[in-house]
Structure 1
């Protein structure tokens, strides 16, 4: 087997558009770090703050402290959604979360990756969709390009690297 030689110095990020100006990106990161993630910032104000930065957020959405959202303008959340403490929505590409979804504590939804066969490790990003009624349990990971089907469960500490069928339960990487 040939070993891939990498030259990270040559990374260009070709084709990736952050979707907003550098000023808006900087403003979001300041608000995220100084206010949004803090325990003292009221949960009922977090959806409004995300909306101010371009997110589409439904009604009765609960976002706990410590939640990180990379780019709010690439986030769509339905009604009656819960996002638990420490969850990370690393949305270089869009993340769509349907209604009645629970994203539990310290879950990671990661739309970013890299081309493993690229010597310069270029991006290989893709959106994530979590359909209505699904549950992404504590410390679960949903990777780029995955759809978590309606009513499906990505169990605690599981990694969803392929679509999870509607109603399926994924535990430690095996759908049941």
Structure 2
């Protein structure tokens, strides 16, 4: 039998933002400014480090990249994060070395308990290992590890671990003409 959600009973039980409210509020004010096309990647990286992100050398962080909580982010060396990527890291996101996160990618560590009337959180970290490529507009959901040197194709939806060296592609739509 389906569970009726009672959203008024949601408490957020067990979720920890990781920093005090004033730090979270300051990030919410700074983050939109950093997304501007006129802000250089090097300044974005420095600001993220100032807020607690661990970021290696040679990282290219394009404009319009959204990062929920920088203190829950680790990016290795020589990574590219493409325009419009969204790292929704309610829980930690760890990105290895030589990783390409392409345009419009969503890495989402958050979810909800579908069978819980209060719709409480069901969050889990995401790990992207060395040499992986997550192509344009792909989505990787909570609890997933994207293995070393793997490829997640454009628009793919990833809900379980990707083996090292594997390729995951979105299903192709069949086009029929009358």
TM range (shorter): over 0.9
Structure 1 residue corresponding to 2:43, chosen from 42, 45, 48: 45
Please give the alpha-carbon distance, in whole angstroms, between the structure 2 residues aligned to 1:137 and 1:173.
Answer: 14
- 1:130 maps to 128
- Rate the CA distance shift 1:173–1:94 in 2: closer, same or farther, 3 A: farther
Decide which structure has the larger Cα Rg and report it.
Answer: 2
Matched position secondary structure for 1:96: strand
CA contact (8 A) 1:160 1:173 kept: no
Q: How many residues align?
A: 172
Structure 2 residue corresponding to 1:80, chosen from 59, 78, 83: 78
CA contact (8 A) 1:159 1:173 kept: no
State the Cα distance separating 1:172 from its structure 2 match: 1.1
Q: Provide Cα deviations, 1:116-159, integer angstroms capped at 9, x if missing partner.
A: 11011000000000000000100000000000000011100001
Matched position secondary structure for 2:87: strand
- Structure 1 segments of 4+ aligned residues over 6 angstroms from their partners: none
Does 2:83 align with 1:92?
Answer: no
Please give the alpha-carbon distance, in whole angstroms, between the structure 2 residues aligned to 1:29 and 1:128.
Answer: 22
Provide TM-score, normalisation by structure 2. 0.95
RMSD of equivalent CA atoms: 1.0
- 2:161 maps to 163
Does 2:147 align with 1:149?
Answer: yes
Please give the alpha-carbon distance, in whole angstroms, between the structure 2 residues aligned to 1:8 and 1:46.
Answer: 36
State the Cα distance separating 1:170 from its structure 2 match: 0.4
Which residues of structure 1 form unaligned runs of 5+? Answer: none
